[in-house]
Amino acid sequence: MGLDLTKGRPFELILKFTIPLFLGNTFQQLYNMADSVIVGKFVGAGALAAVGSTGTIMFLVLGIVIGMTTGFSVMTSQYFGAGDRQLIRYSVTGGIIMSIIFGLIVMAVSITFMPRLLDIMNTPEDIYNDALTYIDIICAGTLATLFYNLFAAYLRAIGNSRVPLFFLVFSACLNVLLDLLLIIGFKMGVAGAATATVLSQGISAVLCAIYIYRSVELLRPKASDWRIYPPCCKKQLLIGIPMALETGITASGTVIMQTALNVYGTMSIAGSTAAYKIINFMTQGLYSLGQTMASYAGQNFGAHDIPRIVEGTRAAMKINIVYSLITAVLGIAFLSTVIRIFFSGDVSMEEVLPWAQIAIYECGAMYIPLGMIFVYRNTLQGCGYSMQAMTMGIVELVARICMALISIRIMSYPLAIAADAFAWVTAGVYGWILYRLILFKKFQN
């Protein structure tokens, strides 16, 4: 059921592996957009702003969790490349046990400090209660998101990107149906949107676990495997913790950026929220390419084939450039048409469109550096260089904070949005340098 990424032409393998991930991640973004569309049309622009104002917090909390689980699966891909079935099973059980502990801690801490964080972020008073309700429910469902992503990461680690696609599509469809039921049928507002997201992720996690148990013998631990195997868990933590920190560091910068955006009021938040939903949708190919490179690099590193990793990285960068240029043009061309789906007829497009245009134009121009971040960071992480990859997050954080603080100082919305673009360029170039110093240098030697 897996795909051996250590054999065959890298460009074709990477493309073949990425396409199912891209389709699945696109569906995931579609149901995230469905949340926003249904909330915006049936609850109002204020509710949409409330959901949007917590987007960076979701990225912070869930990003830390997903970073950790992805890190746990890196050793699975390396053991798969090395052909060690026993260590594969140890990596599965160790990841599950540590994920339960880690997930409960994140859930408790995030819910406890959420009101204070919303205050610090200058969340407008008229959307504060809705924002708190939405993000508290999302945080309460941390374990659902964690285990869905953990099981999907294990499947990708052994070269299976098609089954995670199926569960993503299922989750997307279920989420939309639950949105319609809870938001329109039961009039639950933003609470319904959050509940639908958590339930769809939780059900998908259970189904994914059942599939692995029944159909993927390689990932099915024996009774004797259910224990902490220190050598394996130590390696998983050495990779998982830096990956979680790296995501958390990056997300912290987006929280500060959102703080800068919040000072411009509800309409600016609504406009930028719609724009970033579109941006996130358009860049899923880059995110999927990064996921592919983590598995590709992990398997080939386990097989001790550095030249093949370098060849694959070059192929990924070619895909990045073509994809980035196409999606940037499409996003700019169709913005005024697409953004209307987020709002009911009583909202003036003249009020929200200018805010959205600035975000689409500035970010779209920098998709290639964003793709560089995904390619180089995931390649390094797949090879086990998670501490070095974490420094990319630090560079991104510093760049985003500097631009956000300047924008607050001079009250410039375009500069606040430019915090993302500036961070992508800075971290992308730094990632290329890091890759050259670590992996490419090994290839030359």
Helix (H) or strand (E) holding 390: helix 386-410
pLDDT tens for residues 372-399? 999 999 999 999 898 889 999 999 999 9
d(C-alpha 90, C-alpha 212), whole Å: 15
Token pair of 19 as six digits: 């396409």
Q: What angle do CA 1, 158, 319 make, to 5 degrees?
A: 105
Q: DSSP letter at 436?
A: I
CA 143 to chain centre: 16
- The CA-CA-CA angle for residues 316, 319, 321, to 5°, reads 110
Question: What pTM, to 2 d.p., does this model score?
Answer: 0.80
The answer on pLDDT for 107 being more than 90 is: yes
Q: What is the C-alpha to C-alpha distance for residues 278 and 295, in angstroms, rounded to an integer?
A: 27
Name the residue with higher pLDDT: 27 or 110.
110
The length of the chain is 445
Query: What DSSP character marks residue 340?
Result: G
pLDDT at position 419 over 60: yes
Answer yes or no: are the C-beta atoms of 232 and 87 closer than 8 Å: yes
Share of residues in the chain with pLDDT > 90 (%): 66
How many Cβ atoms sit within 10 Å of the Cβ of residue 217? 11
Instruction: Give residue-wise pLDDT tens across range 216-272.
Output: 999 999 999 998 899 999 999 999 999 888 888 888 888 888 888 888 888 888 889
Q: Are 272 and 355 in contact (CB under 8 A)?
A: yes
Q: What is the pLDDT of residues 394-416, one digit of tens each?
A: 999 999 999 989 998 998 999 99
State yes or no: pLDDT of 445 exceeds 60.
no
- C-alpha–C-alpha distance, residues 56 and 60, integer Å: 6
The distance from CA 227 to its chain's CA centroid, rounded to whole angstroms, is 30
What is the reported pLDDT for 90? 95
Question: What is the Cα–Cα distance from 35 to 197, expressed in whole angstroms?
Answer: 8
Quote the tokens at residue 96.
């599950």
CA distances from 168 to 31, 32, 34, 287, 432 (A): 10, 12, 14, 15, 31
Nearest to 260 by CA among 112, 63, 443, 407: 407
pLDDT in tens, 190-211: 999 999 999 999 999 999 999 9
Q: Are the CB atoms for 420 and 275 separated by under 8 Å?
A: no
Residue scoring higher pLDDT (351 or 219)? 219
Q: Give which of 43, 35, 41, 63 is closest to 175, Cα–Cα.
A: 35
pLDDT digits (tens, 9 = 90+) for 39-68: 888 898 788 888 888 988 998 998 899 889
Q: Which residues contact 266 (CB under 8 A, 6 or more apart)?
A: 45, 46, 49, 124, 126, 127
442 pLDDT higher than 70? no
User: Does 444 have pLDDT greater than 70?
Assistant: no
Q: Is the pLDDT of residue 441 over 80?
A: no
302-327: average pLDDT: 95
Given CA atoms 425, 443, 159, 303 in this order, what sign does their dihedral have?
Answer: negative
Token look-up 């995501």 returns 247
At residue 252, the pLDDT reads: 86
Mean confidence (pLDDT) of the chain? 91
Instruction: Give per-residue pLDDT as tens, 64-101.
Output: 998 898 889 999 999 999 999 999 999 999 999 999 99
Give mean pLDDT, residues 310-336: 95
**111-162: pLDDT as tens digits:** 999 999 999 998 999 999 999 999 999 999 999 999 999 999 999 999 998 8
Nearest to 111 by CA among 194, 184, 172: 194
Please count the other Cβ atoms lying within 10 Å of the Cβ belonging to residue 344: 13
Q: And the tokens for 126?
A: 């008229």
The amino acid that residue 239 corresponds to is I
Give, for 177, the enclosing helix (H) or strand (E).
helix 162-179
DSSP tag of 440: I
- pLDDT by residue (tens digit) across 159-191? 998 898 888 888 888 988 999 999 999 999 999
What is the pLDDT confidence band of residue 443, given thresholds at 50, 70 and 90? low
Q: Residue 265: what are its φ and ψ, rounded to 5°?
A: 95, 175
